[in-house]
Amino acid sequence: MNQWIWPFKKFPFFNARKTFRKRIAFGGILSGIVILGCQNLMRPTPSGAAPAMALEDKSHIVASIKVYLQDANQKEVYFGDFDRTTCVDGLPTVWASSFSSVFGDHRFDIDFTSLADHKANVIGVKTGQERFQVQTDAYPKAIATQGLCDLPFRTDSTHLPAGSEAGKELMSILKTVAPDCSFGTDKDGHLECGIQHGSAPELRGRLETLTKNMSTKWNHQPYLLIRRLTLTRQLLEASQQNDDLKAIHKFCRITEFSLPHELPLSFRSLNWQSKVCRDKNPNKDLMMIGLDQSVREIEALARRIEDTSLIGTFTLAVPFDKSPVKEYWITLQPMDLPVLAKSDSPNTSTCVWHPIFADQMDKTIIAVELGQLASPSKKSFCTPVPDLAKNVKAADHYIRASIASEMEFPIVNGQSRQLRLPTGDYKFSITQLNGPFSEEMFTTEEIIPISIGQISWKTKPHLVIKSW
């Protein structure tokens, strides 16, 4: 019997000569060996594979994957990145696309989340401070079935044929939001947005036609339109001089001291001003793009004048015994301005992107309304934001003020004034003027209108105000 229990007596747990601390240490080591062995037995192995073959290591998953479009000649162009972790049913929902233009580099964040969640048939697009919604009639099946979400975990880039359906679906988003861009590839293999514009002789000819029509067909020219036409001609001549830099700086000084509403939209663009007037060597294409947009605006406003405005007379004939002073100041304000309510669909405000109006949505809305910017598909809209209604209202007021001969003017009681105004209803206010000097015109009593009313400017208007 002693020969069987002798080995156990030698084991540390049964050897009374070992210290208690050594016994505890040996027990911890033995427990660790047992636990590791159990974990190894319980680890799953792929079906049909030897236990030694582990699954692919996911500790280094690349979340952002670059996508290149490849043409038939194996020439690649970088489109953008997508986030692998946002995949829904094979569709990466968050993308970041980038391209360049003569105005600099631009980034477009594209979001398919609403479409993937079946909440709305829209694709969200964000660039800078601007937000767009692109309406789509169909789910982007080609992108979802391309296998982008199933790429190996260590993959950081992939290629798509530019002519594939997936490649077309991706590029169609950029072309919808930025229809004025002619997308191509620059020397570094990146997307490039080219902006078409007229040549100097072509623009000069269009300006001469506008000037001739205004002087021969119109007997009452709007001041703001004439002013913008004059500034556009000055810039065109300055851009064609041999000493370009000196001429351009002279033009920029003129625009700096001009009132904002006297300038065409393109000359008021902060992006354009910084590139043309603050750059030591302004790009000639930048100047021509601004000129081209200015000519388009003047042409559009000229058509509005011929189509929607009427010439009439405004007469002030208040009895002299009721008239405090001789001369008055008349202010007209359009009444039927469109306002986008919160419940309205964003379809009511078509919006597209153009680099000259980047981050200035108020000017973009005006340019779209005038037809300066291309919008062939009419599927790109402003995302409803609190300032959208304000911008839409301001756009209508800008157009009306541009084609009206005068919205504010002095008039002597008993006399008439000929006006050219867009058809519609207006609210008027009459303020008295006490004297010919500026310090006499702005007292507390004079700022308060002595009469407020409404007029309708339609069908050969001849308006007479006979009482307060």
Whose CA is closest to 399, among 254, 222, 178? 222
| Predicted confidence (pLDDT) per residue in 365-409, tens digit | 999 989 998 866 678 998 887 778 888 888 888 888 888 877 888
Is the pTM here over 0.85, yes or no? no
- pLDDT above 90: percentage of residues in the chain: 41
Are residues 135 and 79 part of one domain? yes
Are residues 456 and 332 part of one domain? yes
By the 10 Å C-beta count (0-12 exposed, 13-18 middle, 19+ buried), 68 is classed as: middle
Classify residue 153: in a domain, yes or no: yes
Assign 153 a pLDDT band (cuts: 50, 70, 90). Answer: confident
Write the single-letter amino acid at 81. D
Are residues 145 and 15 part of one domain? no
Are residues 7 and 129 part of one domain? no
| Cβ proximity of 415 and 315 under 8 Å | yes
Are residues 159 and 30 part of one domain? no
CB neighbours of 328 closer than 8 A, spacing ≥ 6? 316, 410, 411, 412, 413, 430, 431, 432, 433
Give the pair of three-digit tokens for residue 61.
């998953």
Assign 288 a pLDDT band (cuts: 50, 70, 90). Answer: very high
Classify residue 220: in a domain, yes or no: no
H helices present in 146-283, as ranges = 165-177, 200-217, 223-239, 244-256, 270-276
Whole-number average pLDDT of the chain: 81
Angle 284-308/200-217 helices, nearest 10 degrees?
20
The dihedral sign for the CA sequence 130, 131, 136, 139: positive
| Rounded mean pLDDT, 64-68 | 94
User: Which pLDDT score, from 0 to 100, does residue 325 have?
Assistant: 85
Longest dimension (CA), the chain: 143
Are residues 72 and 121 part of one domain? yes
Q: What's the domain range around 27?
A: 2-42
- Between 214 and 74, the more confident residue is 214
For residue 25, give the H/E element and its range: helix 20-42
Are residues 37 and 69 part of one domain? no
Between 90-104, 251-265, 382-396, the lowest mean confidence (pLDDT) is in 382-396
Are residues 34 and 177 part of one domain? no
Classify residue 339: in a domain, yes or no: yes
Whose structure tokens read 């913008």? 228
Whose CA is closest to 367, among 274, 299, 270? 299
Domain boundary among 143, 161, 195: 195
Give the pair of three-digit tokens for residue 383.
């995302």
Distance CA 140, CA 172 (A): 11
Classify residue 225: in a domain, yes or no: no
Whose CA is closest to 349, among 359, 358, 332, 362? 362
Are residues 440 and 322 part of one domain? yes
Here the contacts of 134-138 (C-beta below 8 Å, separation 24 or greater) are 134/173, 134/176, 134/177, 134/379, 134/380, 134/381, 135/347, 135/379, 135/380, 135/381, 136/379
| Predicted confidence (pLDDT) per residue in 13-36, tens digit | 444 444 545 555 555 555 555 444
Q: Which residues pair with 350 in a beta bridge?
A: 381
| Predicted confidence (pLDDT) per residue in 203-245, tens digit | 999 999 999 988 888 877 788 899 999 999 988 988 887 676 7
User: Residue 365, SS3?
Assistant: helix
Classify residue 455: in a domain, yes or no: yes
Assign 45 a pLDDT band (cuts: 50, 70, 90). Answer: very low
Are residues 124 and 17 part of one domain? no
Are residues 73 and 33 part of one domain? no
| Cβ proximity of 105 and 124 under 8 Å | no
Distance CA 155, CA 68 (A): 13
User: Which pLDDT score, from 0 to 100, does residue 435 have?
Assistant: 52
Distance CA 95, CA 83 (A): 6
Classify residue 239: in a domain, yes or no: no
User: Which pLDDT score, from 0 to 100, does residue 44 have?
Assistant: 44
Task: Please determine, for residue 54, whether its predicted confidence score (pLDDT) is greater than 70.
Answer: no
Classify residue 266: in a domain, yes or no: no
Classify residue 412: in a domain, yes or no: yes
Task: Please determine, for residue 2, whether its predicted confidence score (pLDDT) is greater than 80.
Answer: no
| Predicted confidence (pLDDT) per residue in 293-350, tens digit | 999 999 999 998 888 888 899 999 999 888 888 899 999 888 865 443 444 444 457 8
| Predicted confidence (pLDDT) per residue in 180-204, tens digit | 999 999 888 889 999 999 999 999 9
Whose CA is closest to 293, among 206, 192, 188? 206
Number of compact structural domains in the chain: 3
Are residues 74 and 6 part of one domain? no
- Between 461 and 374, the more confident residue is 461
User: Which pLDDT score, from 0 to 100, does residue 55 have?
Assistant: 44
Domain boundary among 195, 216, 231: 195
| Rounded mean pLDDT, 141-145 | 94
Domain boundary among 141, 171, 195: 195
For residue 116, give the H/E element and its range: helix 113-116
